[in-house]
Amino acid sequence: MIVKDSEKTSDISKGLVLLMATVCGFTVANVYLNQTLLVSMSATFHISAASIGIIATLAQIGYALGNLLLVPLGDIFERKKLILFLLFAICIVLALNALSINKTWMMVTSLALGIVTVVPQIIVPLAANIASDHNRGKVLGNVAIGLVCGILGARLVSGFIDVHFGWRMVYWTSAVATLFMIFLVYVYFPRSKGGNATSYKHLLMSLGPLFIKERALQKACVSQGMMFASFSAFWTTLVFLLHTHPYSYGSDMVGVIGLVGIAGAFATPIIGRLIDIKGEKFASLLCMSISLLAFIGLIRGGYWLPGLILGALLITVGTQANQVACQFTIFQLGEEKRSRLNGLYMVSTFLGGSLGSYVGLLAWTKWQWNGVCAIAILMIAISCCSLIPMNILRKMIGNLMNKKGSNM
């Protein structure tokens, strides 16, 4: 039976939500697998570790492109078939990654893998559509657990397989796991058809006007873009902090702290239920406050391992829970355009993540850990500004400019 977008089921089973979260986790992990494999790859292809770093960047760029070009297709195609098609494509590209013979081959396949690994961003609107109005926030929070587990767990699992079996086996293992996901999706996922009958060309052309028109979408993009930027700044520079005094740990410690971050992901359903009760604005403010307090505490507490672990936990909770709150907000803008809304939203989120990684490294180079925390606090402050109504924000900026002009 086809469940149309306009229809609402009275309830969505816990088993289906768990399966959606699992598929999201396994697929999004493919974007991050290479981050712990770069040294091994550089040895295989006989190039420097710095030169092989482009592979990780291309995977992220590919993921952003996939969100822009493929995720909107969920508004015009039957989503279950689209998910199955992309999962088959992921299997093929993973095999090509495993068979890479040089850096150029790996660059092309890494870009392609990022593009087709956007399955989670098609599943999330599907989950929003089949959930009832009173528990949509809870459902989105539960599905988000899979995303966080995939993002943070990929580094730990890929590093373990690489050490014992080599980096190529990481891609073969992921390909086999994806084949299993295909079977589960085929058997258990409901069918859901988008209500937009437009062409692909017009669908893409509608993205710009849609972004300009929807203020709530713009605010959500700024909010989570800056929150994810602070999140990326933390995790990108964490390895440098752990190599310095007083820690002097190896890179494997990042994976261990990542496990703590995964534990924090299980707070997202609580935020989801809070959204259903208190509203998304209250939930977003709470999430931003959690991350803000974490970074303030990390200025000093980052040099104390329990404080660092607690900070990692709170940052993960704040960032991932805010993503649920923002997605809840944009999904209220219309069922027929949820895939396009989510695609635009995720592009801005990962652009923010890329910005956070870049600026975080610059801050570490110039000011070490305190600089990273200061930059992250500034990013969260910008995110908080997205909650301020536009007319009040314009008035505040105008008053500030007038005061500055009168002092000159």
Write out pLDDT tens, residues 9-63.
Answer: 446 788 898 999 999 999 999 988 887 777 788 888 888 755 776 787 788 788 8
Q: Is 130 exposed, middle or buried (0-12, 13-18, 19+ CB in 10 A)?
A: buried
Q: How far apart are CA 350 and CA 236, in angstroms?
A: 14
pLDDT for the residue 390: 55
Q: What is the 3-state secondary structure (H, E, C) of 243-268?
A: HCCCCCCCCHHHHHHHHHHHHHHCCH
Q: How far apart are CA 14 and CA 391, in angstroms?
A: 42
**pLDDT tens column, 101-153:** 998 999 999 999 999 999 998 998 888 888 777 777 778 878 878 887 887 77
Q: How far apart are CA 54 and CA 52, in angstroms?
A: 5
Q: Does residue 148 lie within any of the structural domains?
A: yes
Tokens representing 380? Answer: 């969260």
Q: Does residue 274 lie within any of the structural domains?
A: yes
pLDDT > 90: what percent of the chain?
29
Q: Are 146 and 229 found together in one domain?
A: no
Q: Taking 90 as the threshold, does the pLDDT of residue 372 lie above it?
A: yes
Q: Does residue 197 lie within any of the structural domains?
A: no
Q: Are 181 and 224 found together in one domain?
A: no
pLDDT > 70: what percent of the chain?
88
Q: Are 132 and 96 found together in one domain?
A: yes
Distance of CA 97 to the CA centre of its chain: 22
Q: What is the DSSP letter of 331?
A: G
Q: How far apart are CA 230 and CA 310, in angstroms?
A: 16
Asked whether the CA dihedral 9, 11, 15, 17 is positive or negative, the reply is: positive
Q: Are 164 and 289 found together in one domain?
A: no
- Tell me the residue type at 73: L
Q: What is the CATH number of the domain that holds 328?
A: 1.20.1250.20
pLDDT for the residue 9: 42
Q: Are 26 and 130 found together in one domain?
A: yes
Q: Are 157 and 244 found together in one domain?
A: no
Tokens representing 212? Answer: 């300009």
CA angle 198, 202, 208 (to 5 degrees): 125
Q: Are 252 and 401 found together in one domain?
A: yes
- Tell me the residue type at 193: K
Which residue range is the domain that position 231 belongs to?
A: 213-408
pLDDT band at 397 (very low <50, low <70, confident <90, very high): low
Q: How far apart are CA 355 and CA 353, in angstroms?
A: 5
Q: How far apart are CA 183 and CA 96, in angstroms?
A: 21
Asked whether the CA dihedral 389, 345, 139, 324 is positive or negative, the reply is: negative
Q: Does residue 308 lie within any of the structural domains?
A: yes
pLDDT band at 392 (very low <50, low <70, confident <90, very high): low
Q: With beta carbons less than 8 A apart as the criterion, state whether 79 and 194 touch.
A: yes
Q: Are 256 and 186 found together in one domain?
A: no
Q: Which residue has the higher pLDDT, 389 or 350?
A: 350
Q: With beta carbons less than 8 A apart as the criterion, state whether 355 and 366 touch.
A: no
Q: Does residue 204 lie within any of the structural domains?
A: no
Q: Does residue 2 lie within any of the structural domains?
A: no
Q: With beta carbons less than 8 A apart as the criterion, state whether 146 and 23 touch.
A: yes
Q: What is the DSSP letter of 132?
A: -
- Measuring CA to CA, which residue among 379, 383, 362, 358 is closest to residue 371? 362
Q: Are 278 and 186 found together in one domain?
A: no
Q: Does residue 84 lie within any of the structural domains?
A: yes
Query: To 10 degrees, the CA torsion angle through 395, 352, 360, 52?
Result: -160
pLDDT for the residue 400: 54
Q: Are 130 and 47 found together in one domain?
A: yes
The phi and psi torsions of 359 (rounded to 5 degrees) equal -70, -35
Q: Are 366 and 305 found together in one domain?
A: yes
| Mean of pLDDT values over 260-287 | 77
Q: How far apart are CA 102 and CA 106, in angstroms?
A: 6
Tokens representing 183? Answer: 């079977």
- Tell me the residue type at 27: T
Q: How far apart are CA 12 and CA 268, in angstroms?
A: 18
Q: How far apart are CA 207 and CA 198, in angstroms?
A: 13
Q: Taking 60 as the threshold, does the pLDDT of residue 391 lie above it?
A: no
| Mean of pLDDT values over 59-81 | 86
Contacts of 84 (CB under 8 A, 6+ apart): 182, 185, 186
Q: With beta carbons less than 8 A apart as the criterion, state whether 345 and 229 touch.
A: no
pLDDT for the residue 403: 60
Task: List 344's β-bridge partners, or say none.
Answer: none
Q: How far apart are CA 350 and CA 346, in angstroms?
A: 6
Q: Are 266 and 403 found together in one domain?
A: yes
Q: Does residue 76 lie within any of the structural domains?
A: yes
- Tell me the residue type at 292: L
Query: How many domains does the chain fold into?
Result: 2
Q: How far apart are CA 333 and CA 192, in angstroms?
A: 19
Query: Could you identify the residue written with the tokens 């988008």?
Result: 194
Instruction: Kindly report the average pLDDT of the chain as a whole number.
Output: 83
Boundary of a domain, candidates 132, 161, 192: 192
